[in-house]
Amino acid sequence: MSGIFGQNPAAKSAWHPGFVKRARQARPDLLNGRQRQRVCMQTITTTEALVAFCKRAANARYLTVDTEFMRESTYWPILCLLQIATGDEVALVDPVAGKGMDFAPLFRLFADKGVLKVFHAGKQDIEIFVHLSGAAPVPIFDTQIAAAVCGFGDSIAYDSLVREITGEKLDKSSRFTDWSHRPLSDRQIAYAAADVTHLRDVYEHLDRKLDELGRRAWVEDELAELGRAEAYQLDPGDAWNRLKLKVNKPSELALMQALAAWRERRARDRDVPRQRVIKDDAIYEIAQQQPTDETSFERLRTTSRGFSRSAVGGEILAVVREVLARDPQSLPKVPRRPRGPSPKGAVGDLMRVLLKSVSEAHGVAPRVIATSSDIDAIVLDDHADVPALTGWRRKLFGEQALAIKHGGLALGADASGVVPVEVELKPR
């Protein structure tokens, strides 16, 4: 737990017995050798304490940030605890114990461009702040993204990354506990604090590594997208894109789009999970079977008996009738599958060999550069909307993959392994 000890006379630190015990077990040399040192950790439950902490934190070069939340029974995540660490202080901001606390000072701190906010796999954390304030923290850094381009593998878990970088083994037993229950246990508090204290060491290691490898530009596009508030504000009209369902007729596609938009609005307005309103497979079956009355609705396999007579069932029937009453010429066209070589044929195989060679040469997991689905899409479409054809991935792999597809690049081999060989194309 390096970095969790320090003096800060301005901080009203809470000496939590369980946390201090765990800290002493982790680094007895620091506590025993520095009798005047204090563990600067506080639990914040009032606006006044939050204001004071944010003033001190505004002087930090960076903050490490994590949240504990619950979402099993709601559309919007419920923030139960917010952990923030500076270089010498840990704050556990507790909105459950501190009901009515004003988060405006925190949002001002998150908007301060002079203080970097460091997360690990921060998408869900950032979504909470966008929902609460309408804005994402700026600027941000995500250690999972940085770890991927520094050779730690695709989507590495936080505890695994901490162990590889610091050698510390984290106690993750509190990960799935009820964070809305108070009081928090000693184990929960230690777990919550460790999530941001170790993150400082992880960030500083990866920050140096990006410069050493010359790969800082590799993460910039992804960090920019992660910090884009609009990415967390889903338009109900786009909700159908979440569905991994294939339809073959314009009327089916129109129904799937309309039902997904209706479900999104209903779930959001009532703050319940999407699947609790109606499941994905039910949307798919309704789009295919197109029931327009209670009798045909009752024949569906994916809904319960009597569902058609419920308020939700009535709304669904109204959506179906409205879509089917549209002018057929106004219905969306079902996208045609691009024509090209089979993704599972020789061209795709060559691209996969190229990917393996590139990933080995740069010490990066293949999936970080391109997925199998990316390769399938590139085989079919030179302009496929996939990460492998954008940013650093395009320069590293995408352009060569396209050259293989069009005969401008061949693959050879020597003692070092697979070697790309340019091919001079002769006019036909």
Strands 116-119 and 90-93: unpaired
- Whether 86 and 169 map to the same domain: the answer is yes
- Whether 244 and 207 map to the same domain: the answer is no
pLDDT in tens, 171-226: 888 888 999 999 999 999 999 999 999 999 999 999 999 999 999 999 998 999 99
- Whether 211 and 99 map to the same domain: the answer is yes
pLDDT for position 28: 36
Q: What angle do CA 264, 229, 269 make, to 5 degrees?
A: 25
**Integer Cα distance of 155 and 120 in angstroms:** 10
Helices 346-362 and 372-380: angle between axes, nearest 10 degrees: 130
What is the amino acid identity at position 188? Answer: Q
Asked if residue 151 is part of any domain, the answer here is yes
Q: Pick the last residue of a domain from 330, 362, 394.
A: 330
- Whether 357 and 264 map to the same domain: the answer is no
- Whether 297 and 258 map to the same domain: the answer is yes
- CATH for 222: 3.30.420.10
- Whether 323 and 219 map to the same domain: the answer is no
Chain centroid to CA 197: how far?
21
pLDDT for position 75: 96
- Whether 57 and 194 map to the same domain: the answer is yes
The mean per-residue pLDDT over the stretch 138-157 comes to 95
In degrees rounded to 5, what are phi and psi of residue 2?
-60, 140
- Whether 23 and 126 map to the same domain: the answer is yes
Q: How many domains does the chain have?
A: 3
Question: How many C-beta atoms lie closer than 10 Å to residue 78's C-beta?
Answer: 17
Asked if residue 9 is part of any domain, the answer here is no
Asked if residue 11 is part of any domain, the answer here is no
The mean per-residue pLDDT over the stretch 311-323 comes to 96
* Element containing residue 384 per DSSP (H, E): none
pLDDT in tens, 247-298: 999 999 999 999 999 999 999 999 999 999 999 999 999 999 999 999 999 9
pLDDT for position 217: 92
The mean per-residue pLDDT over the stretch 54-76 comes to 96
Asked if residue 350 is part of any domain, the answer here is yes
Q: Which residue has the tokens 């309103």?
A: 277
Range of the domain at 365: 346-422
CB 359 within 8 A of CB 366: yes
Asked if residue 367 is part of any domain, the answer here is yes
Question: How many C-beta atoms lie closer than 10 Å to residue 399's C-beta?
Answer: 14
In degrees rounded to 5, what are phi and psi of residue 131?
-65, -40
Q: In which band, very low, low, confident or very high, does the pLDDT at 425 lie, cut at 50, 70 and 90?
A: low
- Whether 140 and 111 map to the same domain: the answer is yes
- CATH for 285: 1.10.150.80
- CATH for 360: 1.10.150
- Whether 25 and 131 map to the same domain: the answer is yes
CB 18 within 8 A of CB 191: no
**Integer Cα distance of 138 and 142 in angstroms:** 12
Strands 409-414 and 417-422: antiparallel
Mean pLDDT in the chain? 88
C-alpha neighbours within 13 Å on the C-beta side of residue 338: 14
CB 271 within 8 A of CB 75: yes
- Whether 254 and 221 map to the same domain: the answer is no
Asked if residue 286 is part of any domain, the answer here is yes
Q: Pick the last residue of a domain from 232, 250, 273.
A: 232
Asked if residue 3 is part of any domain, the answer here is no
**Integer Cα distance of 418 and 89 in angstroms:** 50
pTM: 0.84
Question: How many C-beta atoms lie closer than 10 Å to residue 298's C-beta?
Answer: 16
pLDDT for position 417: 78
Q: Which residue has the tokens 């960076």?
A: 62
Q: Which of 147-161, 329-343, 399-413 has the lowest mean pLDDT?
A: 329-343
- Report H helices in 60-213: 104-110, 123-133, 143-149, 158-166, 186-213
**Integer Cα distance of 121 and 226 in angstroms:** 10
Asked if residue 98 is part of any domain, the answer here is yes
Q: Pick the last residue of a domain from 216, 232, 248.
A: 232
CB 119 within 8 A of CB 96: no
- Rg of the chain (C-alpha set): 26
With pLDDT > 70 as the criterion, what percentage of the chain qualifies? 88
